[in-house]
A and B are shown apart, each in its own frame.
Chain A
Amino acid sequence: MKSLINRLTEQFKVSLEKQTKSDLCFIRVNKDDAEQLIRHCRDHESYTHLSFLTAIDRIEDNKFTLTYLLHNYQSHQSLGVHVELDRENPVMHSLHRLWGQMATYQRELKEIYGIEFPGSPRLNDEFFLEGWDQIPPMRKEFSTVEFCEERFPIREGRQSTDAKQTMKVEIYPGRGE
């Protein structure tokens, strides 16, 4: 895949992030250059298939990373394109014109991370969460435990036992205060 990376770096501002397998590598590109790069890969490098679009919440860096995974059916190689977004204002160009199904992925990311893709069809329609009134649930500051505790009562009869107390009673009763 080295020659592909070489070709891409000649034409675009991209950097190789890592090659995780012989048939899979990841590159990074600026948000504004992403569409041109991905279109080029689709039309001129035979990466005709969009395997998926997903996001990673890097709360510690105050960033989201988008991953577009493209596949080349001729060489059976995959190319991951990473795009970094500001976490405070996560907006990405909609790439639904490249692949129709991109709109569905974008709609999903809007719902679960709150990432905006202006112009993407049906972006604000509910995806799989019905009547969601919380912050997007895949954002790391969303506390699943708190949400569960609030919404779903603990089943009757459930009880947990404290290890420290159990060990005190069973191993060293009467020692210490």
Chain B
Amino acid sequence: MPKMKLKDIISPFYVWQRSFEKPYTNNKPIDERPGAPSYRGFHVNDIEKCVGCGTCETICMNNAIDMVPVENLTAQVGDSGLRPRFDYGRCCWCALCVDICTTSSLRMSNEYAWVTDNPDDFRFTPGVDEKPWDDHPLGYRRDPDYSLLKLERPAMTMLSAEEGLNSFDEVVHGFTPEQAIVEASRCVECNICVATCPAHMNIPGYIKTIREQDFEQGLRLLYETNPFSSTCGRICTHRCEDDCVISHLGKPLAIRWLKRYITDQIPAEKYQQILQHKITENGKKVAIVGAGPGGLSAAYFLRLKGYQVSVYESAEKAGGMLRYGVPTYRLPDDALDKDIDYILSLGVSIHYQTTVGKEIDFQVLYDENDAVFFSTGLNVPSGLRIKGEDHPRVLSGLQVLCDVASQRDPGVGKKVAVIGGGNVAMDAARVCRRIGAEVTILYRRRIEDMPADPEEIEEAQAEKCKFVTQAIPGLIEKAKSLKQVVIQWGEAEMVADDNGGRPRPVLQEDKMHTDSYDCIISAIGQAGNYSFLPEDIKQQLVSQRGKFTVSNHQQTSNTKVFIGGDIANKTADAISAIADGQNAAIGIDEVLSLGMGTK
């Protein structure tokens, strides 16, 4: 055994002197070293802002994201109620999900250290599962000057206000092929809009056919839920666009105009060949009262199911409010006829100028058919409820529109006041401008309170209709000339509603005005006319606030009677009537063919 030197024994202790020096290594626990300010660390999601569109899930190139239901969050229009859940076993922190987020609710914190012994912890729903970095102010977020989403809409070519005033030509020209593709490629296919559309049309589906230039497939998709696509492509209230997720950061997709684009690509004579509807008669009969969008939609869907359908219409032509209430500069006759002609071509029989209750009794229809659907619309103008309103120079907005649509002179004169703030008021005003009258619109509230579509208001303003808001009509009197009429109106003050409702206009009696006009057009609303209904059936029907109460499939408490359209739904627009027609067809089929009762 070699001899051990003293040095060998002592030398290990030399290193001990190092204990008093500053160490080269980091202390344990490791000193906090924050990530760079825009570091792509763990995800953070503002779940109030997030609408669960799932675009993050779609773009994720590692399939690291699932959309999952979250406690205390339910779906509502514009929000699926789902939220993204991340699997950090797959995430590569590329941040595409943050870059594409349609609401910019999703971002990343600069936190990067997370230790746990349970691998399942690394699957989490940011914003729902609380994390220490939720409130970190730093981290990666999308560059505000750069967007993977296309936020702008191609500008639609339209007639200028001056050109528009010289004719009844359609104001909106429709997209060019280039514009349509650009617009269609803005869609992220999230399907959020489908819930908002009353007819629940397959919107992302038909928009995709535009990108793929397969308009025939587009038409087939449109006709799955809406036989009035050419019409709706022009005049739909397009509530789908309100909930388009692109609208959170940019302009919503022009869904309505894309729908129109598809129908414009296909000539009417090709519809039959493309849609290939084959009808197998089932021997059952359904009567429909009213050939408006609701009635004809029901007729279309019933016919496809093999029912023999008879439609009764009091007017000379079909279309209802679409023909007699919507002027041709918004909806040209040929665009409407394209839709109606196809429905009728399926073998729907229609009796024009046949008013139920006059030419034929409702009871007869009821007895001779297996079911009856009526969608007779709101066509009785509401009165102004002021003294003197029975003056012969007080006309109804609906009558003026109907006269113009029927190419009759409405006889409005040169100086017109329109009372009201809905679409009928705007259209009556714009029609009067086109036939050369000066128009003043009197409305009791503010412009932002007007129920008319915003674009109708804008176009009426561009066409130089004079808007007088917060104006309450008080009295109508005779003028010196029989061709004129005098109106007294007062300025109103908007008073906040204590119950949280919208502000109320209150007349200021010291601010009254007196003006004379060639005519006053009253357009403050419409009601239904149910005089055609036999008393016993009327009694079976339940209504609430002027609208009939019906089941999901438009059935009343009389299992044979179905109602839809403006007289049954709250939204009172064409697309809701079309949806009602489809649902009535489903309901009638359930009762008659499937033997199911009330639903």
Which A residues are closer than 8 A to B by beta carbons? 144-145, 148-149, 152, 154-155, 157-164, 166-177
Contacts and interface: CB of A to CB of B under 8 A. Distances in A.
Interface stretch (B58-66, B482-490, B510-518): B58-66
B464 interface: no
B57 A174 contact: no
A101 to B, nearest CB: 24
A171 B243 CA distance: 14
| Smallest CB-CB A-B distances: 3 pairs | A163-B80, A144-B61, A167-B195
Nearest to B201: A176
Contacts of A172: 195, 200
B308 interface: no
A166 B69 contact: yes
A175 to B, nearest CB: 6
26 contacts: A144-B61, A144-B62, A145-B60, A152-B90, A154-B63, A155-B89, A155-B90, A160-B57, A160-B66, A161-B69, A161-B82, A163-B82, A163-B190, A163-B191, A163-B192, A164-B195, A167-B81, A168-B194, A168-B195, A170-B74, A170-B76, A171-B77, A174-B599, A175-B200, A175-B583, A176-B579
A171 B89 CA distance: 34
B141 interface: no
A164 B586 CA distance: 21
Contact of A168 (B52, B53, B123, B200): B200
A148 B195 contact: no
Given A162-B67, A163-B190, A175-B583, 18 more contacts: A145-B60, A145-B61, A145-B62, A145-B63, A148-B62, A152-B90, A159-B68, A160-B65, A161-B82, A163-B54, A163-B191, A166-B69, A170-B74, A171-B76, A171-B195, A174-B553, A175-B552, A176-B586
Interface string B194-212: 1100011000000000000
Given A161-B69, A163-B190, A176-B579, A170 B63 contact: no
A148 to B, nearest CB: 5
A166 B80 contact: yes
B81 A170 contact: yes
Nearest to A160: B66
B86 to A, nearest CB: 11
A159 B66 contact: yes
Interface string B68-100: 110000111100111000010110000000000
A101 B95 CA distance: 30
Contact of A167 (B62, B123, B192): B192
Contacts of B185: none
Contact of A158 (B61, B123, B192): B123
B66 A155 contact: no
A139 to B, nearest CB: 14
A143 to B, nearest CB: 8
B314 interface: no
A148 B367 CA distance: 65
Contacts of A175: 200, 552, 579, 583
Contacts of B63: 145, 148-149, 154
Contacts of B586: 176-177
Nearest to B52: A163
A159 B54 CA distance: 13
B553 A170 contact: no
Contacts of A176: 199-200, 225, 579, 582-583, 586
Contact of A148 (B52, B57, B61, B120): B61
Interface string B177-192: 0000000000000111
Contacts of B65: 160
Contacts of B599: 174
Contacts of B80: 163, 166-167
Contact of B194 (A149, A160, A164): A164
Given A167-B194, A170-B75, A155 B87 contact: yes
A22 to B, nearest CB: 18
B67 A163 contact: yes
A175 B81 CA distance: 19
A86 B222 CA distance: 44
A39 B459 CA distance: 64
Contacts of A161: 66-69, 82
A160 B67 contact: yes
Interface in B537-595: 552-553, 579, 582-583, 586
B68 A160 contact: yes
Nearest to B192: A163
Contacts of B53: 163
A6 B239 CA distance: 57
A144 B64 CA distance: 12
Contacts of A154: 63
A148 B191 CA distance: 26
Contacts of B74: 170
Nearest to A177: B586
Contacts of A173: 552
Nearest to B57: A160
Interface centre among A145, A158, A162, A163 (most CB of B within 10 A): A163
A50 B425 CA distance: 71
A166 to B, nearest CB: 5
Contacts of B90: 148, 152, 155
A159 to B, nearest CB: 6
A164 B54 CA distance: 11
Nearest to B89: A155
Given A161-B67, A175-B579, A176-B200, A166 B82 contact: yes
A110 to B, nearest CB: 22
